[in-house]
Amino acid sequence: MSQQKTKTQLATELMGKGATLLRETCPKCGGLQLRYKGRLLCVNEDDLTEATKIEGVATADIMGSLRELVVMKLQEASSNLASERDLDRQLKLADLIRKYVELLKETKEKNQEKKD
Ligand SMILES: [Zn+2]
């Protein structure tokens, strides 16, 4: 993280995240302009590092709250399974639990990808 990235590297990184390079150059400095998440960014003047960070935090937040929700549902399903006597419902709950566990694994993997 301490490594300084060049403006070109940052611009490329943002484009990889869905930013589009505009045909029109900046009216102030003539530099390249990017449109990203509804914002207009000048490659020369704007802090692109900030823009990449904002996206990273937002993704982590979504994944974090999704994981919390899944963990909550998992606990709920587990306690339901513990008190359930009907075999058919047990089977459904077990299937549900398995899917929640898979989802947890998936969100974890995606989080790690984002950090790298
Ligand atoms: Zn500019």
Statement: residue 110 has pLDDT above 60: no
| Count of the separate structural domains present in the chain | 2
Q: Which residues surround ligand 1, an ion (CB under 5 A)?
A: 26, 28-29, 31, 42, 44-45
Q: Give the chain's length.
A: 116
Statement: residue 2 has pLDDT above 60: no
**For residue 2, how far is its CA from the centre of ligand 1 (angstroms)?**
25
Please indicate, yes or no, whether residues 75 and 37 belong to a single structural domain of this protein.
Answer: no
Domain that holds residue 89: 58-116
pLDDT in tens, 3-21: 678 888 999 989 998 899 9
User: Measured between alpha carbons, how far is residue 59 from residues 3, 32, 78, 96 in Å?
Assistant: 22, 26, 28, 25
pLDDT in tens, 46-91: 988 888 776 566 677 777 888 889 999 999 999 999 999 999 999 9
**For residue 46, how far is its CA from the centre of ligand 1 (angstroms)?**
7
Look up the pTM and report it.
0.46
Please indicate, yes or no, whether residues 21 and 75 belong to a single structural domain of this protein.
Answer: no
User: Measured between alpha carbons, how far is residue 49 from residues 17, 59, 76, 102 in Å?
Assistant: 13, 16, 41, 33
